[in-house]
Structure formats: structure tokens, C-alpha cells
Structure 1
Amino acid sequence: MKTNLSDLSLTAIAPIVWGSTYLVTTQFLPGFSPMTVAMLRALPAGLLLLVIMRQLPAGIWWLRAFVLGALNISIFLTMLFVAAYRLPGGVAGTVLSAQPLIVVFLAAVLLSGRLRPLTVLAALIGMGGVALLVLTPNASLDAIGIAAGLAGATSMALGSILARKWQPPVSPLTFTAWQLTSGGLLLLPVVLFVDRAIPVPTVSNLLGLVWLGLIGAAVTYALWFRGIGRLAPSVVSSLLFLSPLTAVLLGWVFLGQTLSILQITGIALVVGSIWLSQRAND
């Protein structure tokens, strides 16, 4: 399957923007719990897109919208935050970077695709690059945290494969609206039960939520699901390595964090893995 450069570039915008989540959350939303941020990121953006697109699911797509919303939004974010709470950031990031590798095997089973050794190698190289980027020598392990990270990676990997397999009969924006709304609605009772009260947002909080919701959810998920429909699953999933890469680079630029030789090597491996994955599918 020949990879179109414009499709690849547009799809890559999504994980690059997602890489800003840590910076925006810590700098603009310090008083909010991660689960509240996840719900506020998904639900308002989804409802806004529904109002704009004016198209609800029909028939079997009601069920599929909630299944995909749960896999790509609710379950993924819940497991992500469980992993983030129980693991050091580097360990959590490395565990979650297994998603492209999981996609490779799920695509072979669910989409009857051919398992390409070069694609598997590219995913392993990318995981190694992420490990060099974010893993610290004194990182500790936690069985529940690792299990949650793998569950989150598997959830979004399965959601991506099913989105490709089902091929929605609507535009990427409408498809995004369905998933963000259903995923946000599934998160709402969890937030109300766990957090009970949402802080009154300041101007700074609102700016952070606008970025995470409108840009980091509505726009980026639309580009992501567009890419899922046009590119090979392994190529799309390999772009997820750009998220931790972006987070590290933003920390270097805006937070004064340093880049070690190992991290620079990790950057080279991440870029190389994306190139290799694209070559494997040409």
C-alpha cells in the first residue's frame, strides 16, 4: 500500500499535538485531576462537533460509536491515568509505546493483513527510541501500573483497527464527534463519582481546556481517523512515537530541561522507526 505523503503529514499532526498534553496540563491546569481533564477534553469538543455537523449515528452505528468511544477515549484514558499514577513517567511512556506493535499483530488477525517482519522491527526500534527518550535509570516497576499501560495501549490499538475495519459512512469530523461524545459521556459518571466537584476555571484554565479540547481533541482526532481510513494501520500507529518525542522537545524548549546523548539517540531511533514502517508498507 503506497503511502501518500500529504496523508502521512496530516495524520502526524495529531500525535505531535498530543505531545503537548503534559506541558499544557501542568502549566495551565494544575488544580484539575487527570480524569476531569480527560472528560472536559472529550465531551465539550464532541458536543460542539455534533452541533456543527448535525448528524447523529443511525442503526448499528449507535453501538459502534459507543464501542469506539470506549476503546479510543474512555478506557484508553482511564488506563493511561492509572499507569501514570502508579508508574514513573518514563516507565508509563515506554509501556504505552507498545501500541504500534500491538496494532501490527491485531491488523494481521482482524484485517487479514500480512505480518511483515520489517514492520515488527520498526515498532521495536520505535519502542527502544521512546525508552531512551523517557526512561530513567532509577525507574521503579509496578505490576498493576504496567498492566494498566498495556491495557490502555491495547484498547486504543483495537479501537484504531475496528475504525479501519468498519469504515464509517460519514466524514472524519462527524465520526470524531460520535466518538468524543460517547467517550466523554462514559467518563462523566466516573468523574462525578471520583472527583465530585470540578474547580471553577480561571482564564488560564480555560485557555488550556480550549487547546486540549478544540485542537487536542476535535481537530486532531478528526485528522487521526482520516489517516486511519487512508493509511496502513502500522504506518498510522508508528506516528504515535511522535507524541513522547514532542513532549521531550517541548520540555527542552519551554521548561529548560536538558537533552542527553541517549535522548538524542532516542530521537534518531523514533524518526528512523517511522521511516522504516512507511518503507515496509510501500
Structure 2
Amino acid sequence: MQVNDNRSGWGKAYLTGAFVLAGTSVITGRLLGQHLGTFTIQAGSLGIMLAVLLPLYGGRIIRAVSGMSRDQWAGILLQAFFGMFAFRCFLLYGLPLTSAGEAGVLLGTTPAITALLARLVLKEPLYQGAVRGILCTVAGLALIQGGGGSLSWSHAAGNLLVLGAAASEALFNLLAKNRQSLDAIRNKELHPMVQTFLVSAAAFLFSLLPAIAERPVQELAACGFREWMALVWYGLVVTAVSYALFYRGVKRCDPYVTAAFSGVAPLTSMLVAVWLLQEQLGWKQWLGGGFIMLGISLIGSRAQGKLSVIAKV
């Protein structure tokens, strides 16, 4: 029992670190989006990460690739598409239309979406805490979306795009957890950094062709030191370190714990946006964010005790 407690404790620590770093993606994306195209940001940051990781883990990567099955490759491609490519497309297209702080709050819907998908896709039991958390999330969204009478159509579209990013992240969480469980059963688990490399390489290929249409060479040549440091941060920290910690954590925790801890990312985004970008959020946004954070806590309450089951497998 103690071993399982330690395993879960380390899993929560890994997830906390992963989502704190992931939360900085909103600020980094806002900065880079002022100078570079969406696909150039993806291809550039991932290219930097791949160039650094390949010499360090080349041997492990070659050995892992040689023994991978077809369904493992399918899992890698799906994680790359939803967890990196689609998530960043939605987020980077949505950020210019809404505030970074509000985007951070909206990403807090990820746990509620994850909980719903865990029930629908993985047939996980839906507990009272999860139901209440989902309802709190819906209430928070209603407050944020109605946060001002002057809300424009473009602002609403930006919020919807950010919600698309949250849905993509939720799908990624479930895909990664399901893939980890299957690989553990078959004793074919990938090293976290190898898995991060392969998922990133697939996402890099997804973004490479669209990036060419954005004239990336000219855009990158015009970047200053700050923009290059942001690309390095996006590639090495937000992607490499964050995803490696996530893969370590997700195999030690169930989907509801993972969903709850994913709320650390939007909280980080919101606080950093207010602190660094000096953005101002209205009382409805703060209250809506409070409802979403309460929802995150309720969704994660499964890990704190046994609650009655609303729906069973």
C-alpha cells in the first residue's frame, strides 16, 4: 500500500511540474504570435527541441523505434495531432482574439472535458464529484462568456478556439493514459523522453508543410533575441520537459487525478498573464475562473475518498 501511495505521490508531483510549465505556453504563444505565423512557431520550436534531444537520446530512440508495433505508432500519431498540433493551432489562432488571462481561465475546462470523455470513451465511472465539477465548469464558462455587454463576435470566436484547445488537450490526456496502460500490460513502455521525442517529431511533420506557406525563413530571420529565447522555451521547456514529466506522471495516476492536476496549467497562465502582461480581468472573469477551479477540485475528489457512483460500467 505504501508503494502505491509513493507511486501516486510522485505521479502528482510530476503532473504538477508538467502543468506549471505547460501553463506558460499561453504567454509564450502570445509573444511569438506577434512576430511569427502559427505553423512557423510550431515547426520552429519543435525543430529546436528535436535537434537538442536527438544527440542525447539517439540510441534509445533507435532501439525503441525498431521494436514498436503498428498500434503504438498510431497512438504516437494521435497524441501528436491532438496534444501538440491541434492544441497549438487552436490556442495560437485564438490568442489574438481574446486576452491571455481569459484564455488561461478557459483552458481550465480541460478537466471537465477529460472527465466526460473518460466516461464516454474509457467507460470510467462518473462520480458525484465529477458531475458537480462539470456543472461548476459550465457555470464558470457562462460567467466568462457573458463577462461584458461589449463582448464582440471576434472575442467570442477567440474563446471558442481556446475551448477547442482545451478539448484537444483532454483527448491527448486520455490517449496518453490509455496508451500507457496498454503498453504497461504488454511490457512495452517507452522511455518518457523517447515518447516525447516521437510525439514531437510527428507534430513537427504535421506543421512543416503549412509552415512553408508562411515564409518561415524571412520571419525567423527578422526575430530578435527575445523571440528566439521564446522559441527555445516553447520547444525545450513547454514541450520537452513538460511532456516528459507528464508521461512520468500519467502512468502513476488515474484519469480523474490527471484531469484535476491539468487545472494547474490554466491557473499558471492566468496568474502569469496578470503579473507579466499587466492584463486586467473583470469580476465576472475572476468569479468564472473561481467556479472552474472549484470544478477542477471536485473532479479530482475521487482520489480523496470513495464517492457514490452515478454511472457504472
TM-score normalised by length of structure 2: 0.75
Identity %: 22
CA distance in 2, matches of 1:43, 1:119: 38
Instruction: Note the residue ranges of structure 2 that are not aligned, 5 or more in a row.
Output: 184-188, 305-313
Tell me: CA distance 1:62–1:50, structure 2 relative to 1, closer, same or farther (3 Å). Answer: farther
Tell me what 1:199 maps to: 220
The alpha-carbon distance between structure 1 residues 229 and 31, as it changes in their structure 2 partners (threshold 3 A), is: same
Could you tell me which residue of structure 2 aligns to residue 222 of structure 1?
Answer: 244
Once the two structures are TM-superposed, the CA of residue 253 in structure 1 deviates from its matched residue by: 2.8
Of 143, 159, 162, which residue of structure 1 is paired with 2:172?
Answer: 159
Asked whether the 8 Å contact 2:88–2:165 carries over to 1, the reply is yes
Moved more, 144-153 or 108-117: 144-153
Contact 1:90 1:131 in 2 (8 A): no
Q: Aligned match of 2:200 in 161, 180, 183?
A: 180
Output the CA distance in 2 between the equivalents of 1:226 and 1:253: 30
What are the superposed Cα offsets for residues 111-159 of structure 1, whole Å, 9 maximum, x if unpaired?
2311113113224435655776897413334686566445433333222
Per the alignment, residue 108 of structure 1 pairs with: 119
Contact 2:127 2:302 in 1 (8 A): yes
Offset at residue 233 of structure 1 (A) = 1.4
Indicate how the Cα distance of structure 1 residues 133 and 8 shifts in structure 2: closer, same or farther if over 3 A, else same: farther
What is the aligned counterpart of 1:139 among 147, 151, 159?
Answer: 151
RMSD of aligned alpha carbons:
3.3
The equivalences for 1:68-107 within 5 A come to: 68-85=79-96, 96-107=107-118
In structure 1, the gaps of 5 or more residues are: none
What is the identity, as a one-letter code, of the residue corresponding to 2:23? Answer: G
- Structure 1, residues 29-48: CA drift from partner, whole Å, max 9, x if none? 74223332222223331443
Q: Distance in 1 between matches of 2:190 and 2:206?
A: 22
Of 267-276 and 239-248, the range deviating more from structure 2 = 267-276
Change (3 A) 1:189 1:171: same
Question: Which stretch of the first structure deviates more once superposed, 143-152 or 239-248?
Answer: 143-152
Provide closer, same or farther for how the CA distance between residues 36 and 90 of structure 1 changes in structure 2, counting only shifts above 3 A: same
Deviates more, 1:155-164 or 1:132-141: 132-141
d(CA) in 2 for partners of 1:19 and 1:250? 9
Q: How many pairs are equivalent?
A: 282
Which has the higher mean CA deviation after the structures are superposed, 33-42 or 126-135? 126-135
Asked if residue 52 in structure 1 is aligned to residue 53 in structure 2, the reply is no
Distance 2:112 2:48 in 1: 32
Q: Say which SS state the counterpart of residue 244 (structure 1) adopts.
A: helix
Structure 2 equivalent of residue 7 of structure 1? 11
Counterpart code for 1:158: L
Hey, what's the Cα distance between the residues in 2 that align with 1:140 and 1:154? 23
Matches of 2:27 and 2:164, distance apart in 1: 24
Q: CA deviation at 1:192?
A: 0.9
Q: Once the two structures are superposed, what CA deviation does each residue of 1:79-122 show, in whole Å capped at 9, x if it has no partner?
A: 23333355565775565443322211221233231111311322
